[in-house]
C-alpha cells in the first residue's frame, strides 16, 4: 500500500510540475515557444504568414 501511495504521489508531483512549467496546458495542448514565420513576415510579435515549428 505504501508503494502505491508513493507512486501516485510521485506521478502527481510530476504532472503538477509539467503543468506549472507550461509544458502541457489544461486543454491538453503543448506550448510552443519558438516558431518560423513562412510566406510572410514579422510585425512586432505577430507573424502575418504561416507560423510553423522550427525545422532545425
Residue 53, domain member (yes or no):
yes
pTM for this predicted structure: 0.43
Residue 18, domain member (yes or no):
no
- pLDDT at position 45, please? 83
Residue 11, domain member (yes or no):
no
- pLDDT at position 24, please? 62
Per the document, the length of the chain is: 56
The number of distinct structural domains making up the chain is 1
| Measured CA distances, 9 to 12, 17, 22, 35, 55 (Å) | 5, 12, 20, 35, 37
Residue 3, domain member (yes or no):
no
Residue 55, domain member (yes or no):
yes
- pLDDT at position 30, please? 67
Residue 51, domain member (yes or no):
yes
- pLDDT at position 28, please? 67
Quick check: helix, strand or coil at residue 44?
A: coil
Residue numbers of the chain with a pLDDT score lower than 50:
none
Domain residue limits at 34: 24-56
Residue 45, domain member (yes or no):
yes
How far does Cα 34 stand from its chain's mean position? 11
Residue 16, domain member (yes or no):
no
Calculate the average pLDDT of the chain: 82
Amino acid at each position: 500500500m505504501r508503494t502505491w501511495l508513493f507512486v501516485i504521489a510521485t506521478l502527481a508531483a510530476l504532472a503538477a510540475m509539467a503543468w506549472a512549467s507550461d509544458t502541457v496546458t489544461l486543454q491538453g495542448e503543448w506550448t510552443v515557444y519558438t516558431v518560423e514565420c513562412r510566406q510572410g513576415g514579422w510585425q512586432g510579435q505577430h507573424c502575418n504568414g504561416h507560423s510553423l515549428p522550427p525545422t532545425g
